[in-house]
Homo-oligomer: A and B are copies of this chain.
Amino acid sequence: MSTFLVTGAAGFIGGAMAKKLIDQGHKVVTIDNLSTGYREAIPEGVEFYKGDCQDYSLINKLEKYSFGAIFHIAGQSSGEISYDDPVYDLQTNAQSTLLLLKLALKTNCKKFIYASTMSVYGAKEDRLIAEDELLEPKSFYGVGKIASEQYMRIYQDYGITSTALRLFNIYGPGQNLKNFRQGMVSIFVAQAVYNEHIHVKGSADRFRDFVNVDDAVDAFIAAYERESNHYLDVNISTAQKTTVKQLIRLIQENIPYDVTTEFKGSTSGDIFGIVGDNSKAFKTLNWKPRIKLDEGLKEMIDWALKLKTQKVK
């Protein structure tokens, strides 16, 4: 049994990650500012500190622990929202990483796993994007994530082995259905389930690479277990292209009533499409996605429908 720090356990990916570790019999500590997550979403048994990861005084309180690894997942996670306050975005996404790396160094924690993002790449042509691609983020969000990756690379000289998982579009049960500015799948599923109408901001031909949250959690575990002293950045992607049109059709097929669609407006910092080469993930982490999009979506929609029924009762 080890003790792990999982930041952002009130959120979608952090929550799933914390639950996995708790289920494996480990002790989990989390920091979450509950800005988008909910107190009730934190899995049972997790020790909770409320606050920001960019807050020195809070991070200092964690010096009493001896973590087997730090999974840094907290942080503002929407390209669109990063336009509201780029300075806050820099603090939540880059300053936080600096403080947590410093904590790792102080407490002799040797492993650091980070939720980075496909947003570091920016707008690219329609082809598989590998990790050595030139980084030209289109959002402030992507800039802070790159800075974090660079910090982790520097800290390898101090004996901390970091992995930056460049997560593509993560979806699945547990995703926030109330935030209509974050997560393409959750936005569309929530609209379909609650409004019977999907409002798409942007073209139907845009495309993404959708990764199930359970597969993403497996990648975090694989990153923790890998044996190396070197910093690694790696795509967590399926290498499968799905257009917005295809996604909406899949959602419609799994909803037991008619769902209308409407295309209007656009989104700041949005990219037309990106699909990630995942051969490096297989090579370095022995990781590949297991869950097919249609199965994963079905499970997610069933969960969302159930949630709706429970709330109506």
Chain A interfacial positions (CB closer than 8 Å to B): 86-87, 90, 94-95, 98-99, 102, 132, 134-140, 142-144, 146-147, 150-151, 153-154, 269
Q: Give chain B nearest CB distance to A103 CB in angstroms.
A: 13
Q: Give chain B nearest CB distance to A263 CB in angstroms.
A: 22
Assembly CA distance A123 to B98 (angstroms): 21
B153 touches A136 (CB 8 A): yes
Assembly CA distance A140 to B86 (angstroms): 20
12 residue pairs of the A-B complex, CB under 8 angstroms, read A86-B98, A86-B102, A90-B94, A98-B140, A132-B134, A135-B150, A136-B150, A139-B154, A142-B150, A143-B147, A143-B151, A146-B146
B98 touches A90 (CB 8 A): yes
Q: How many copies does the complex hold?
A: 2
A154 touches which one: B87, B143, B153 (CB < 8 A)? Answer: B143
B150 touches A146 (CB 8 A): yes
A147 touches which one: B134, B138, B146, B153 (CB < 8 A)? Answer: B146
Starting from the known contacts A90-B147, A138-B154, 4 additional A-B residue pairs (CB-CB under 8 Å) come to A86-B98, A132-B134, A140-B154, A146-B146
In the complex, what residues of B have CB within 8 A of residue A269's CB? 154
In the complex, what residues of B have CB within 8 A of residue A87's CB? 95, 98-99
Q: Give chain B nearest CB distance to A141 CB in angstroms.
A: 10
Assembly CA distance A142 to B147 (angstroms): 10
B143 touches A150 (CB 8 A): yes
Assembly CA distance A146 to B147 (angstroms): 8
Chain B residue nearest to A138 in the complex (CB): B154
Q: Give chain B nearest CB distance to A152 CB in angstroms.
A: 10
In the complex, what residues of B have CB within 8 A of residue A147's CB? 90, 94, 143-144, 146-147
Q: Give chain B nearest CB distance to A305 CB in angstroms.
A: 39
In the complex, what residues of B have CB within 8 A of residue A94's CB? 90, 94, 147
Assembly CA distance A90 to B90 (angstroms): 9
Assembly CA distance A136 to B233 (angstroms): 12
Assembly CA distance A144 to B144 (angstroms): 10
In the complex, what residues of B have CB within 8 A of residue A102's CB? 86
Chain B residue nearest to A102 in the complex (CB): B86
Assembly CA distance A87 to B95 (angstroms): 6
Assembly CA distance A138 to B150 (angstroms): 9
In the complex, what residues of B have CB within 8 A of residue A153's CB? 136
